[in-house]
Amino acid sequence: MTRHISRRFASTGALLVAGALALTACGGSGFEQPADDAASGGTTELTSSDDALSVLIASSGDAETDAVTDAVADWSADSGVTADVQVASDLPQQLSQGFAAGSPPDLFYLSPDAIAGYADNGSLQPYGDLVEHKDDFYPSLVENFTVDGTFYCAPKDFSTLGLVINTRLWEDAGLTDADVPTTWDELATVAKTLTTDDHVGLALSNEYQRLGVFMAEAGGGLVVDDEPVANSAGSVEGLEYVQTHLTDGTFAYAADLGAGWPGEAFGKEQAAMTVEGNWITGALSTDFPDVEYTVAELPAGPAGQGTLQFTNCWGMAADSPNQQAALDLVAHLTSTEQQLAFSKAFGPMPSTESAAGDWTSANPDLAAFLDGAQYAQFPPTWAGATDVITDLNSQLESLEGGDPQQILDDTQSNLEAIAE
């Protein structure tokens, strides 16, 4: 049941959409179609100088922050180029502000839903074809960061979503390996069994980037086969399933448990299960090393198996005065050796095909994440998709008492407004 979301520029997903991208600073606003005369990207000739590099990232936790900081510091020591890593509290907003002020970071995490807007107004330096190991990236990830035939930026890694289970709470509830859910009905049953006065059965985040798996498993999504399907019967059924179990108390949003994200709720054992990506492994090992867990593929819904796949690239600013050094740093950060080190530190799967065998051998217990890539659905990457998803997420915060059909009707209208 693989569903490919493709336009002229993308077909894979984004790690996280952490708030609205202020498109007033990057070629558009709201849900309007991007202007036809938007500026093109930078030239293929890279700038070179003695300037230090600034690197802006979003982070899943200390494990990711430390790993990226250490990798950049190692490169800096070898190259002699000073480089500083900053962790954004709101990456889309800070990127937008940096570009608007004419002082963007040299390198930065960039999600697929944001690339079209930045490419259209000339904010990005297209350097993908200059990466020495460009042919080693998974083709779908290259396509994800290709706009109008130009490969803009190197995919840094990718992840899927799986069902993460606290093994102690599972066993305490009298559950065994035979009870690992493979269907929605089974998930509802074990979530009820696991729910106590001390913890909920399943913790979720109140955003499409997690709840979208249920839409996909019911045969819906946001965009499928290049068509908006947000308010399809399958999409509505997926949200209604979540709503039912939020209401009966066996599912809960992490925010309602007092946690910043589902991984924190899971680590604090406020929830026995969660739907998260492989980045949770690094956060748990760093912040909650005593919590034992197992990872399973997400249970199938009425239409079959489903999950979401996410990626980011290393975006490069068109205005960077030291693009040659930035390219060299990207080559280091996306090398097979470094990506395997990142995977060990905080869990993402390498974006290079040559790393697949080593990653599988080193992570047999995480195979469910890689298996999910076979049927993963990808969030839309159209210009303006950031705003659409941000608006959807604001409505999903009140899903328990809301109207799934109305929420998704609004999203459908917004998607149709940005469709070509």
Burial profile 116-127: b = 16 or more Cβ within 10 angstroms, e = fewer? bbbbbbbbbbbb
Q: Quick one: pLDDT band at residue 420, thresholds 50, 70, 90?
A: low
What pLDDT is recorded for position 217? Answer: 98
* pLDDT over threshold 70, residue 119: yes
Radius of gyration of the chain (CA): 21
89 shares a domain with 63: yes
349: tokens are: 């799967």
109 shares a domain with 190: no
Looking at the domain assignment, is residue 9 inside a domain?
A: no
Looking at the domain assignment, is residue 173 inside a domain?
A: yes
What pLDDT is recorded for position 4? Answer: 27
Looking at the domain assignment, is residue 59 inside a domain?
A: yes
CA dist 151 to 12, 156, 370, Å? 14, 14, 25
165 shares a domain with 155: no
The one-letter amino acid code at 382 reads W
Looking at the domain assignment, is residue 18 inside a domain?
A: no
Task: Quickly count: other Cβ atoms within 10 Å of residue 333's Cβ.
Answer: 20
CA dist 247 to 195, 258, 273, 398, Å? 13, 18, 17, 11
Q: What's the structural domain count of the chain? A: 2
388 shares a domain with 285: yes
Full-prediction pTM beyond 0.85? no
321 shares a domain with 268: no
Dist. CA 194–CA 172, nearest whole Å: 9
Signed CA dihedral, 277, 15, 152, 76: sign only: negative
Residues 282-318 pLDDT 10s: 889 989 999 999 999 999 999 999 999 899 999 999 9
Angle at 353 between CA 347 and CA 359, to 5 degrees: 35
334 shares a domain with 316: yes
What pLDDT is recorded for position 10? Answer: 27
Task: Name the one residue in this structure whose structure tokens are 């994200």.
Answer: 261
> Which domain CATH number covers 106?
3.40.190.10
Looking at the domain assignment, is residue 74 inside a domain?
A: yes
* pLDDT over threshold 70, residue 26: no
Q: Quick one: pLDDT band at residue 34, thresholds 50, 70, 90?
A: very low
Looking at the domain assignment, is residue 227 inside a domain?
A: yes
What pLDDT is recorded for position 148? Answer: 86
- Span 139-147, mean pLDDT? 84
Closest C-alpha to 339, from 144, 161, 157: 157
281 shares a domain with 171: yes
Share of the chain above pLDDT 70, in %: 89
Q: Quick one: pLDDT band at residue 265, thresholds 50, 70, 90?
A: very high
What pLDDT is recorded for position 43? Answer: 56
Looking at the domain assignment, is residue 17 inside a domain?
A: no
206 shares a domain with 134: no
387 shares a domain with 372: no
Do 5 and 380 form a contact (C-beta atoms < 8 A)? yes
Residues 334-381 pLDDT 10s: 999 999 999 988 888 999 989 988 998 999 999 899 888 888 888 887
Mean residue pLDDT across the chain: 88
Provide the domain limits for residue 97.
Answer: 23-159+309-377
Task: Name the one residue in this structure whose structure tokens are 């259209």.
Answer: 120
346: tokens are: 């905080």
260 shares a domain with 155: no
Q: Show Cβ contacts of residue 272 under 8 Å, excluding neighbours closer than 6 positions.
A: 165, 166, 169, 170, 173, 194, 195, 199, 200, 201, 202
Looking at the domain assignment, is residue 1 inside a domain?
A: no
- Span 11-16, mean pLDDT? 32
408 shares a domain with 290: yes
Q: Where are the beta strands (DSSP E) in 153-246?
A: 154-166, 200-204, 223-224, 227-228
391 shares a domain with 364: no
Closest C-alpha to 127, from 330, 295, 263, 335: 330
